[in-house]
A and B are shown apart, each in its own frame.
With several copies, the nearest count.
Chain A
Amino acid sequence: MNKYEEQAEVLRQEQLMPEIFRLTLRAPEIAANARPGQFVMVQTSPGYDPLLRRPLSIHQTIGHDQVQLLYKVVGKGTRLLATMTAGQQLNLTGPLGHGFELAASKAICLVGGGMGIAPLYFLAREILRNTCPPKCVVLLGARTAAELGPLPGNFMDLGVTTHLATDDGSLGHHGFVAELLLQHLDPELKWTVCACGPHPMMKAVAGQCRKQGWECQVSLEATMACGIGACLGCAVPQAELSGPYLHVCKDGPVFKAEEVAWL
């Protein structure tokens, strides 16, 4: 898989919610090669503070040369990113890692929690464009309605069935998004479930899938320095606990749920 270092131009910075932004960049090489579930490493500052690049999933590619990121401001790097305006330059490396792999699944379910929703939009669009399976369901969760903002609408606009859950019940199901699996997925079908979100959410989803015998792919996070398998910083334990660690940036970020240790 090809990787690039690109000086991307900021085309648009949109504040979707108080802390959540959508950034559209011109990055032709990365856009042309990106697959859903892959990520980029973004240099958020020209100086040494912050020093390391920040990993962000590709939210979608637009046309042949644009990359869109969806991110939440949680610290220094993302705060700086949110100050970028159209016309400014941003250095990206990518596309990095292995994305979701959907051979010829007949029934696909995407489960996103919080910012884990970011890569699923790209995935949903690709699914609809390419395989267009008989069944495709999207389940989105967040702590509260305000955290989802326009995202559910974006998925619905694609024409895909979308169910929502919020921890506080302010929108959709009152409870965890993993609980929607049993409510909405026909247990007779052989589902392929693609999940991205907080660790406990993915653990619950992976557990459900195992019980049902469904295939499950999860997109993991880890603190990263290089993003390309060189530093070995992004280790996560594999299912076989005594085996070598997996590395999120190189072996993932998308893993088969059964490869991973759910501690």
Chain B
Amino acid sequence: MTTPDLRVSIGSLFLKNPVLTASGTFGYGKEFAPYVNLHYLGGVVVKGISLAPRRGNPPPRIVETASGMLNAIGLENVGLDRFISEKMPYLREIGTRVIVNILGDSLEEYQTLGRRLSEVEGISALEVNISCPNVKKGGVAFGTDPAMAEAVTRAVCAHSTLPVIVKLSPNVSDIAQIARGAEAGGAQAVSLINTLLGMAIDVRSRRPRLANIVGGLSGPAIKPIALRMVWQVAQAVKIPVIGIGGITTTEDALEFLLAGATAIEVGTANFVNPRASQEIVEGLGRYLTDNRLSGISEVIGGLILP
């Protein structure tokens, strides 16, 4: 019997399998080395990087909700320079794709990040987080307007030689429209969803449970919404779609692939089961074998409609 073929390509980016880890949930890879053989993964998406280091929000930053969690980390990160000098040496050696998630508060910042990271060895692609507020446009998030999504995509693509994945925010009326904006701007792929804006209150103290008041909802709770959006976007754009949102098991991953995702990212599940990402790679292989399928491409977009 031949080993199942899990390879996929996201534009010009080839992955040995469609399982990535979601930004902000897998640190810089190293944190999970005790639990996961990193080179088994399709790739690692690192915590979002900005030009300058960011302190993030004051604590408490995390609260659990029904089958999910809210986070208000506030995009804490070590900044571009320390990322390159401190984190990249390790990441270059992990034996799989390294995708760098970037964030900024202006087009210029995104441009600079794209340009600078293109010069760094060992990076396979950029994932552009457009859920951030555009400071120059009164703080409206780039990701809530198709034109702004297109502009930020174009800015990164023009200044970078790396494949660009645009990561979409779900807090919109019509995510397919935003995806088309990213496609028009030159994205090689879109990934979705980022977290849904949520809130929790401690009724004893009468205070928000997060110092930031609101935070991003993730985990199994949001999977149905994420899956619906991935399905809608996969129909709306020609570029590959990467599915994210509550993926915890092989079955979850298969749902997203069937809905049209070419790859998936495992997020919050890494906290619950640190071996989740590797187990999903193994599970997908077993699924192909059990169903006598020659490759994962026979699954992608394979949803049968009534």
Contact = CB atoms under 8 A, between A and B. Distances in A.
The answer on direct contact between A and B (beta carbons under 8 Å) is yes
Interface of A: 2-5, 43, 48-53, 91, 93, 222-237, 244-245
B67 A226 contact: no
Contacts of A3: 34-35
B67 A232 contact: no
B89 interface: no
Nearest to B210: A223
| Interface of A: prevailing SS | loop
A167 B19 CA distance: 41
Nearest to B47: A232
Nearest to B76: A232
Contacts of B224: none
A63 B219 CA distance: 38
B220 A51 contact: yes
Contacts of B32: 228, 230
B27 interface: yes
B61 A223 contact: yes
A243 B224 CA distance: 31
Contact of A231 (B25, B67, B68): B25
B275 interface: yes
Given A5-B275, A49-B66, A232-B47, A226 B73 contact: no
Contacts of A93: 35, 274
B272 A51 contact: yes
Nearest to A52: B64
B302 interface: no
A236 B76 CA distance: 13
Nearest to A225: B271
A3 B71 CA distance: 25
Contacts, number: 106
Nearest to B35: A5
B270 A2 contact: no
B61 A235 contact: yes
B301 interface: no
* Complex A-B, nearest 9 residue pairs according to Cβ-Cβ distance, in ascending order: A230-B27, A233-B62, A3-B34, A48-B67, A230-B31, A226-B271, A225-B271, A235-B59, A223-B62
Interface stretch (B50-58, B145-153, B170-178, B283-291): B50-58
Given A48-B248, A53-B272, A235-B57, 17 more contacts: A5-B275, A43-B273, A48-B220, A49-B67, A51-B272, A52-B64, A225-B69, A225-B268, A228-B34, A229-B31, A230-B26, A231-B71, A232-B61, A234-B61, A234-B62, A237-B59, A244-B76
A33 B24 CA distance: 28
Contacts of B95: none
Contacts of B76: 232, 235, 244-245
Contact of B53 (A52, A229, A235, A244): A244
A51 B60 contact: no
Contacts of B61: 223, 232-235
A229 B57 CA distance: 16
26 contacts: A50-B64, A51-B67, A51-B69, A52-B271, A93-B35, A93-B274, A223-B62, A223-B63, A225-B62, A226-B31, A226-B271, A227-B271, A228-B27, A228-B31, A228-B274, A230-B25, A230-B27, A231-B25, A234-B61, A235-B56, A235-B58, A235-B59, A235-B76, A236-B59, A237-B58, A244-B55
Residue of A222, A226, A236 with highest tally of chain B CB at under 10 A: A226
A237 B76 CA distance: 13
Contacts of B71: 225, 231, 233
Nearest to A263: B58
Residue of A48, A50, A52, A231 with highest tally of chain B CB at under 10 A: A231
A225 B64 CA distance: 9
B231 to A, nearest CB: 21
B56 A4 contact: no
